[in-house]
A and B are shown apart, each in its own frame.
Chain A
Amino acid sequence: MGPIIILGVESSCDDTALALVQDTPDGWRVLARELSSQADIHKKYGGVVPEIASRQHAELINALLERLFGQAQLGWGEVELIAVTNGPGLIGSLLIGVGAAKAIAFAREIPIIGVHHLKGHIYSVFIERPSLAMPFVALVVSGGHTVLVNARGHGDFVEMGRTRDDAAGEAFDKVAKALGLGYPGGPLIDQLAKVGNPGAIPFPRALPAKDSLEFSFSGLKTAVMYFLKQQARDQSAFSLSDLAASFQEAVVDALAEKTVRAAGLAGVKQIVLVGGVACNSRLREKMTQRAAEAGMDVYYPSPELCTDNAEMIACAGYHEFKLGRRDTLRLDVHPSLAI
């Protein structure tokens, strides 16, 4: 028998993602992946609409599963483990993925493992870099999360800090909506910021207390709203790209600053940057620069592995499986599961 084949299922937010991966001696082999993003559907609402999201997952998941196995030219009987995101996320969306995974596990009599979405993101870095080893400090930064995790070893993750109000990606989305840019806000602001001056508007840096590892982005969001109101009242013109660049710089500064500090406190030399906002070009640049100054290395996955995907869930699930963890068909969803 060759290396184990794992089916990963991820449906915690607006993407239905499936993957078949294999842990080979040369590293992770992705046999097939299917991703159905609902971004176009949610675009007109300026964000993810939960009820629409779960209905879409339900409509898509069976067809995607068939396409996945077709693409991999595998039979259902060849899967030996199912890993599925069971939290945190939107409850309706999580239920669709977990329901599908349990049905397959029951029919094929194979083990099932529930995976924490944020742990999944952390494992996304191993898919392209199987030789990377813990310990490292991971910044998981997306539309719903901004968390610093001390990854000391498999099964040994400790949260070091998180946002005390908005997630960084949420701030990007909300500011983009206020600027009339659309959804998702991150890539749009990233693009616009490339031609803007990041020092044009001195927005406050979201650093609550110098020695804390907490983030705060709601004050920055308020500062942007206030700036827009003032400009409207004074009927003065300003450059949208300067605003985007200045806002982005404030977010990125806070993220890079706290992450490097966390790595220092944890006594590690490796930083891992994952989650949807890890695609942000300025964040990658700044983090690499700040880490280099501190003698640290930064690793981040390709963009398609930064955003929600099922490869990372399969990878994380398999590591837990190897540690001896198993779930049963009673596996439940947890919208706000702690790491």
Chain B
Amino acid sequence: MLECITKNEEETKSLGRQVGLHLSAGHVVGVTGELGAGKTVFIQGVASGMGVSEPVTSPSFVLMHQYSGRCPVYHFDLYRLESSSEIQTLGIEEYLWTDGVALLEWAERAKPILFPNFLHVQLHYLDEAPADSRRVVLEDPGGRFGRLLEGMLTRCEYLRWIRLPI
């Protein structure tokens, strides 16, 4: 588990981009954080790293946007969903671990479905800090993203990563 601080929206997005550069078909990324924490911003970065050139906007209204990058990118927003039974009836599983990469906002709402084979990205507001600064935690509960996380330490060295005990 790794943690860093991004100083502004741009850094949050470029961290997302670095993650996106190293994702491939079958990967699932779940982003969690309060309203306004920057989930869409982070995912915009991931999508750009995956070679998506279309504009990436919040899918709150229609639940899912699909983009084409190096492989299909499925961008979900579970904001409107209450229970995991509701999520199950929607058939989100059909888009997970498949021919594309699935990116989910409000991923905690689908945790029983996602766990453990997903990269969990937590975005936290910081107290007493600039409004756009965030504490970002990358967690790999299923052990699928070891190389990606190790790579972050060197590629994004400027973020001064901290290793957290699992």
Contact = CB atoms under 8 A, between A and B. Distances in A.
B12 to A, nearest CB: 11
A202 to B, nearest CB: 13
Contact residues on B (Cβ < 8 Å of other chain), bracket: 20 to 34
B38 A164 contact: no
A218 B40 contact: yes
A89 interface: yes
Contacts of A144: 60-62
A196 interface: no
Contact of B80 (A50, A163, A222): A50
A90 interface: yes
A166 interface: yes
Interface in B29-62: 34-38, 40-41, 44, 55, 57-58, 60-62
Contact of B89 (A51, A178, A233, A336): A51
Interface in B47-88: 55, 57-58, 60-66, 79-82, 86
A229 B131 CA distance: 10
A219 B9 contact: yes
Contact of A218 (B58, B61, B82): B58
B92 to A, nearest CB: 11
Given A49-B82, A226-B131, A335 B64 contact: yes
A49 B55 contact: no
Contacts of A163: 57
A221 interface: yes
B58 A224 contact: no
A48 interface: yes
Interface string A162-174: 1111110010001
A225 interface: yes
Given A47-B79, A233-B127, A222 B132 contact: yes
A45 interface: yes
B145 interface: no
Nearest to B59: A336
B160 to A, nearest CB: 23
Nearest to A50: B63
B61 A45 contact: no
B62 A45 contact: no
5 contacts: A48-B80, A164-B55, A166-B57, A221-B35, A335-B62
Given A165-B58, A166-B57, A177-B35, 18 more contacts: A47-B60, A50-B63, A89-B62, A90-B63, A91-B62, A165-B41, A165-B57, A166-B40, A167-B58, A174-B60, A218-B36, A221-B35, A222-B38, A222-B132, A225-B35, A233-B127, A336-B65, A336-B66
- Name the 6 nearest CB pairs between A and B, nearest first: A144-B61, A222-B36, A225-B36, A47-B80, A226-B131, A166-B58
